[in-house]
Amino acid sequence: MILFYTDSSEKSKQALIVLDSFHEKHPDVGLFRVNASKVKDIHPIYGIDSVPTLLTLRKGQPAEYILGIQSEDDYSRLLSGTKHVAKKEGKGQRLKVLVYTSDSCPWCGRAKSYLRKNSIPFTEVNVSRNSSAAQDIFRRSGQMGTPQININGHIVVGFDQPKIDRFLGIKG
C-alpha cells in the first residue's frame, strides 16, 4: 500500500495517524508513504491528483485507489477482500442510483469505481453531453459540479463517501 499525502493537508495528517495505527497492528503489511509536495515524480505516474489517496498494488500493478480518511476497519476489509453489502431501503424496493458525470471530472471516475467495488448497479448520465440533465441536477441540488449521485431521490454532491454509504446502507 502506498499513501500519497502532503504536510499541508489536515486530512493527510489524519490519514497518516490512522494508517500508522493500522500498521502497528498489521506490521506484515507493506506500507509506503509518499509526500507528494516533496517527491513530485511518483504521483503523476499513478494518476494521483488529490491527497490523501491510498493506492493498493496487486502483482505490482495499481489495484484500488482509496480517497480521503478511512477507518482501520476499512483498511482491514480492503486487505481481506471483504466487501460491504448494501441494503435496499425496504422489502422489494429496488435501489435506483443515477450518477451525473462530466468529461473532465476525476472524482466522477472514483465515484463510479466505488459503486462498482460495492456491487451497486447505477446509470450514468454525462451532463457534458446532455444539457437537460445539467439543468435537472442544478434544479435538484442548486449545484453544477460533478459528480452528483441520486440514490433513491437523495442527492449527494461530490464524492462524499460517508453520505453515499448512509444512503446505500453500507455499514462501516
- Lookup result for grid cell 462501516: 172
pTM over 0.75: no
User: Residue 7 is part of which domain span?
Assistant: 2-80
87 grid coordinates: 441494503
**Residue 167: enclosing H or E segment and its boundaries?**
helix 161-168
Residue partners of 103: CB distance under 8 A and separation at least 6: 126, 128, 129
Q: What pLDDT shows up at residue 164?
A: 94
Asked whether residue 32 is assigned to any structural domain, the reply reads: yes
Residue 59 CA to residue 148 CA, distance in Å, equals 33
Q: What pLDDT shows up at residue 77?
A: 67
Asked whether residue 112 is assigned to any structural domain, the reply reads: yes
Asked whether residue 36 is assigned to any structural domain, the reply reads: yes
Instruction: Give yes or no: residues 19 and 69 share one domain.
Output: yes
From 120, 119, 137, select the one nearest 128 (Cα to Cα).
Answer: 137
**Which residues of the chain are under the pLDDT cut of 50?**
82-85, 87-92
Asked whether residue 42 is assigned to any structural domain, the reply reads: yes
- Lookup result for grid cell 451497486: 120
Residue at a domain's end among 31, 48, 80 = 80
- Which 8-state DSSP code applies to residue 36? T
Q: What pLDDT shows up at residue 88?
A: 47
Q: What pLDDT shows up at residue 90?
A: 47
